[in-house]
Amino acid sequence: MQKSITIIFLLIFNLTFGQDKVDPTESLISELKTELNKKNITNFFVVKRITYGTAYIFDLDDPNSCNPNGIYFTMYAFWKDGKDDYVKKFDNCGGFNTLKLSDSKISEFYVKNSESLKSDEVKSYQIKPDSIANGKIYKSTYYQNHQPQRFFWFYINSDEFKNHFNKHNLTTEKEKPNLNYESNNVLSIVKLNAICEKIIDDLDSKAMFNRLK
């Protein structure tokens, strides 16, 4: 009985006090910005990837594993230095090694499309056209919990801006067609994310990211 009470107390404690976690995202980006600016690099961007509700398993035997403080995330910074493009990975526990990319496709894309990246808006998964009643517009949207999120921070010379979308809004289903499916998937922010994910998946498959000591 005493053991059960102790377990219940610990669960309540974690639920009550474990919610106030420190998110290191802004400090990691700030440190990276300072580091890059020292090299006169002012064009770069960062993408943060989160899937809420997904359990992260901490592996004591894996040097790249992380015991996250809060919701686990991975984050990737991309920039150009001279003629070469680079990527660096981060997560709740800090940074990984910097890797040189095989081409400059990603830096060329985000600099060329900076204006559209700033204004692009991925619209909600909409299953019916808007309706108007009593002078108000009503939307019929389809939501799903715990879908992957993509958060972007852009730094282009002196210009700084953010963007974000839910990957659920890029999908469609036969029974529930997404009216915004095609328009969402031609946006520059979505195309940039696709380039990022191809690069990240390729490097992950080769186990190229290693945590800094």
Q: In whole numbers, what is the pLDDT of the chain averaged over residues? A: 89
Q: What is the DSSP letter of 70?
A: S
Side chain identity at residue 148, one-letter code: P
Q: Is the pLDDT of residue 21 over 60?
A: yes
Rounded Cα gap, residues 139 and 128, in angstroms: 7
Q: Phi first, then psi: what are they for 149, rounded to 5°?
A: -110, 150
> Residue 7's pLDDT band (boundaries 50, 70, 90)?
very low
- The pLDDT, as a whole number, for residue 14 is 41
- The pLDDT, as a whole number, for residue 12 is 39
> Residue 39's pLDDT band (boundaries 50, 70, 90)?
very high
